[in-house]
Structure 1
Amino acid sequence: MPPDSGVTAHGVRRSFGSVQAVADVDLVAAPGRVTALIGPNGSGKTTLLLMLAGLLAPDAGTISVAGFDPVTRTYQARARTGWMPDVFGTWDSLTAREVLTTVAAAYRISPDDAGRRAAELLDLVHLAELADEPAHVLSRGQKQRLGLARALVHDPEVLLLDEPASGLDPRSRVDLRVLLRRLAATGKTILVSSHVLTELDEMADDAVFISRGRTVAAEAIESAGESRRWRITALHHDVLVAHLAQAGVPYDVEPDGAEGVLVALSDDTEAAALLGDAVRAGVDVVSLAPAGGVLEQKYLALEEERR
């Protein structure tokens, strides 16, 4: 059997008639890490995930999931893949428990093991009290949690998650982050797409940015934050600006009359030094904080460069 090699895609393309949804994507998601797939609406994220899940065949390029090509080795790849689409779809008349045991049967899990696994997963996603309620009574957030449990039924090596936090309440979002980090720690490969970049900041190890169906950047989260914009405010805006100019610190004044000043800093140490210098110079600093998440800033910078 091939060794677990996570998820790779090279030169992947897919068109629907005259519309080229995925034009040229390269991607690597390593075992034991959470990889974020980031891009604007229409960038090809869902189409790419469908190809990785073996539900669409690429027009060109190569894909490997847990060491198998999902086109030529469909069963082997799918047996090792947990797929969670952005919209939960199932038979509404089935109970939450029956949804999981039915999916377990499709993976040839014995009825006794399926029942135990369903109970374990329903407890994991905090749906145990709704185990025997029909799926149609579940809220969108509850259906999302059931969708995650469904993806985990067969204990897959690879998890492909499309907008898993959509519709979740704040507590459930925290639980999701904790769960994904725990699963990654066991060696699973997790590829997650989301528009909520602040969520990804707290759970992802790596990021792949795509735009117009093409990979435009791929890097570790640590390196994505090497140069980060911070917002500094003071009681007297003009005094702050004068200090930064005298100290030779490049800055941008926030638009629309906002009182903050934006500066590019490499890390927390540089931020602390800037704050200390300002205070010693008599600047009444009110706040100094990142102007956004690491991924959000990287994404906005790439979009601006693309334009």
Structure 2
Amino acid sequence: MTSSSPGDLAVDGPPPDPDGADDLGVVVRGVRRTFDLVVAVDRMDLRVPPGQVTALVGPNGSGKTTLMLMLAGLLAPDSGTITVAGADPVTRSSAARAAVGWMPDVLGQWETLTCREVLTTFADAYRIPAAQGRARAAELLDEVHLTELADSPARVLSRGQKQRLGLARALVHDPQVLLLDEPASGLDPRSRVDLRVLLRRLAAQGKAVLVSSHVLSELDDLADGAVFVSRGRTVDARTVAEMTLSTRRWQLVALDPDHLRTWLRDHGVAEVADPAAVRPDHVLVELPTPEAAAALLRDLVRDGVPMVSQAPASGALEQVYLGLESERR
């Protein structure tokens, strides 16, 4: 990563892909998009490899949705290049759209159509034979647990049910690339788990999955890597493994918090004062490496401190996100 100033970070464009994986995933190089005088995306770089789930993380107004719309072929960039499954969404729009499953954060719908009709209509739009389209619709309705509502009009669905129908709609043509904008919004806990299992399975099948979400704790369990954006630019990109290795804040819970605090004080381990991060009966410490965290837990147990748990104080993505200087406004 290169930096032009502390508050204006940029990363080098994606390196060449010697294995040709770019032909199955997404590559964005130096993309810019403006709306009148507003710069929504400013020389952004991104890679979404096949076989992985990539998180797109950034605050409101950082350019995430604008980028997603360009990847889906619904907006054209002012400059820079985009390839989706090897196709440019502007110059080869039919090939790019055939490869993409796009799920916006709000399901646009024909309210009089049933859930089944929504899916068969989209199957027809992708020129899937009618019988195959009906079978695919039934399969996907079962996948997203909407079979009981298959012949109900879409207008009666709850917010979470509409999200599940939107996901099924994005999958109707079995795309190589999935673009999901806030897919878990409105989902109940069981449906969130089902979504995570489904997306991991699709990635295991070789699909490239890009997920934009503000719920970073869920992305920790889902994503293989993350791209962080701010003010229209890419400011960081890491694998989840790299982020986990950089975890520094750990939350300790003991049956006797006072005993724990006394032990830490006697052994020169400072407690971090951060009341927004933990409950009063939890103890927050900062450690340089995961190995140091393992050694601390070993010593606590050896000395008879009744430990209940030790874990990162927040998810890996959240720690990286909160540590970005570009987000300190």
Global fold match (TM > 0.5): yes
Q: 2:285 aligned to 254, 262, 269, which one?
A: 262
Report the alpha carbon displacement of residue 304 of structure 1 after superposing the two structures with TM: 7.0
Give the residue type in structure 2 aligned to 1:271.
A
Per the alignment, residue 99 of structure 2 pairs with: 80
Is the CA contact 1:95–1:134 (under 8 Å) kept in the aligned structure 2?
A: yes
TM-score (norm 2): 0.86
- Report the Cα distance in structure 2 between the residues aligned to 1:241 and 1:111, rounded to whole angstroms: 67
Q: 1:123 aligned to 142, 162, 166, which one?
A: 142
Report the alpha carbon displacement of residue 303 of structure 1 after superposing the two structures with TM: 5.0
Per the alignment, residue 7 of structure 1 pairs with: 26
Give the residue type in structure 1 aligned to 2:179.
L
Q: 2:297 aligned to 265, 269, 275, which one?
A: 275
Is the CA contact 2:269–2:285 (under 8 Å) kept in the aligned structure 1?
A: no
Q: 2:133 aligned to 110, 114, 139, which one?
A: 114
Aligned in 2, Cα 1:42/1:70: closer, same or farther, shift over 3 Å?
Answer: same
Any idea what SS the aligned residue of 1:191 has?
strand
Report the alpha carbon displacement of residue 20 of structure 1 after superposing the two structures with TM: 1.0
Aligned in 2, Cα 1:112/1:51: closer, same or farther, shift over 3 Å?
Answer: same
Give the residue type in structure 1 aligned to 2:317.
L
Report the alpha carbon displacement of residue 263 of structure 1 after superposing the two structures with TM: 1.9
Give the residue type in structure 2 aligned to 1:266.
T
Where do residues 62-73 of structure 1 align in structure 2 (5 Å cutoff)? 62-73=81-92
Aligned in 2, Cα 1:265/1:127: closer, same or farther, shift over 3 Å?
Answer: farther
Are 2:120 and 1:101 aligned?
Answer: yes
Q: 1:51 aligned to 51, 55, 70, which one?
A: 70
- Report the Cα distance in structure 1 between the residues aligned to 2:229 and 2:328, rounded to whole angstroms: 11
Are 2:190 and 1:167 aligned?
Answer: no
- Report the Cα distance in structure 1 between the residues aligned to 2:295 and 2:216, rounded to whole angstroms: 28
Give the residue type in structure 2 aligned to 1:230.
W
Aligned in 2, Cα 1:241/1:24: closer, same or farther, shift over 3 Å?
Answer: farther
Is the CA contact 1:81–1:159 (under 8 Å) kept in the aligned structure 2?
A: yes
Q: What percent of counterpart residues are identical? A: 65
Give the residue type in structure 1 aligned to 2:172.
V
Aligned in 2, Cα 1:302/1:248: closer, same or farther, shift over 3 Å?
Answer: same
| Residues 186-210 of structure 1 deviation map (CA, whole Å, 9 limit, x = unaligned) | 1000000111111111111010000
- Equivalenced residue count is 304
Report the alpha carbon displacement of residue 261 of structure 1 after superposing the two structures with TM: 2.7
- Report the Cα distance in structure 2 between the residues aligned to 1:244 and 1:126, rounded to whole angstroms: 49
Where do residues 143-162 of structure 1 align in structure 2 (5 Å cutoff)? 143-162=162-181
Report the alpha carbon displacement of residue 42 of structure 1 after superposing the two structures with TM: 1.1
Aligned in 2, Cα 1:286/1:108: closer, same or farther, shift over 3 Å?
Answer: closer
Give the residue type in structure 2 aligned to 1:301.
G
Are 2:246 and 1:213 aligned?
Answer: no
Is the CA contact 1:225–1:266 (under 8 Å) kept in the aligned structure 2?
A: no
Q: 1:294 aligned to 316, 319, 328, which one?
A: 316
- Report the Cα distance in structure 2 between the residues aligned to 1:151 and 1:11, rounded to whole angstroms: 27
- Report the Cα distance in structure 1 between the residues aligned to 2:222 and 2:146, rounded to whole angstroms: 23
Unaligned ranges ≥5, structure 2: 1-20
TM-score (norm 1): 0.92
Aligned in 2, Cα 1:219/1:3: closer, same or farther, shift over 3 Å?
Answer: closer
Q: 1:18 aligned to 25, 29, 37, which one?
A: 37
Any idea what SS the aligned residue of 1:11 has?
strand
- Bigger drift between 61-70 and 223-232 goes to 223-232
Is the CA contact 2:72–2:179 (under 8 Å) kept in the aligned structure 1?
A: yes
Is the CA contact 1:251–1:264 (under 8 Å) kept in the aligned structure 2?
A: no
Q: 1:253 aligned to 273, 284, 287, which one?
A: 273
- Report the Cα distance in structure 2 between the residues aligned to 1:20 and 1:168, rounded to whole angstroms: 32
Per the alignment, residue 80 of structure 2 pairs with: 61
| Residues 65-90 of structure 1 deviation map (CA, whole Å, 9 limit, x = unaligned) | 00011011101100100000000001
Q: 1:90 aligned to 94, 99, 109, which one?
A: 109
